[in-house]
Structure 1
Amino acid sequence: MLVTNLEIVPGRKVKDHLGLVQGSTVRAKHVGRDIAASFKNVFGGELKGYTELLNDSRQEAIERMKAQAESIGANAVLNVRFSTSSVAQGAAELFVYGSAVVLED
């Protein structure tokens, strides 16, 4: 399954457009990560716990989007975009969406 933020794929033709597909995950902050982050706020540096949390969240949302695309017969998702929103205090949704298409071989 090809997943790209491009609107077209060079050298490939879109045979069929199947519609919008999406994937999301809602994650809450972890107390241990909050404690480590508070120290980083004082001394500076990357918040590795949050970086890992966001990477895992993005991957999970992408896998859910790909599964939805596969279920309708797509072999690619084009024009992929990400969005985040706060759902509750300490919890956020990571949302990914794109256009499911069938590319010619």
Structure 2
Amino acid sequence: MIPLSTTGEITGYRITQTLGVVTGNMVQSKHIGRNIMANLKNLVGGEIAGYTEMLTEARTKAQERMIQDAQAMGADGIVCVRFTTSAIAQGMSELLAYGTAVKITKA
């Protein structure tokens, strides 16, 4: 597994080469069943577990795709990892994972 870091370094490693930006994304749409439950939950308040689960799955998939992008570049690690979301259309969102692919060696 490629080590990931939200900072510009990976503890215990030395960056020897910067390879470039890597990305992975996932576009997710609302499921009608989840949408109905969310609307009901909106009346009483609280966490909407179906949406939390949906976004967790999307984040995991986007991260996996970012790692695949890095591996295709020959990277050993990814630094400065970030996640962002944006609305694509009504009921659809994109989750994007991005970072900088690097070559590393043990410190």
Q: Give the structure-1-normalised TM-score.
A: 0.96
Instruction: Confirm whether residue 6 of structure 1 aligns to residue 7 of structure 2.
Output: yes
Q: Give the structure-2-normalised TM-score.
A: 0.94
Identity, % of aligned pairs?
42
User: 1:83: Cα distance to partner?
Assistant: 1.0
* Structure 1 unaligned regions, length at least 5: none
Counterpart residue number, 1:89? 90
Query: How many residues end up aligned between the 2 structures?
Result: 105
What amino acid is the match of 1:24? N
Instruction: Confirm whether residue 43 of structure 1 aligns to residue 6 of structure 2.
Output: no
Q: Indicate the larger mover: 17-26 or 39-48.
A: 39-48
Q: Aligned equivalents of 1:91 and 1:67: distance in 2?
A: 24
Instruction: Confirm whether residue 61 of structure 1 aligns to residue 62 of structure 2.
Output: yes
* Structure 2 unaligned regions, length at least 5: none
Counterpart residue number, 1:30? 31
User: 1:8: Cα distance to partner?
Assistant: 1.1
State the superposition RMSD in angstroms: 0.8
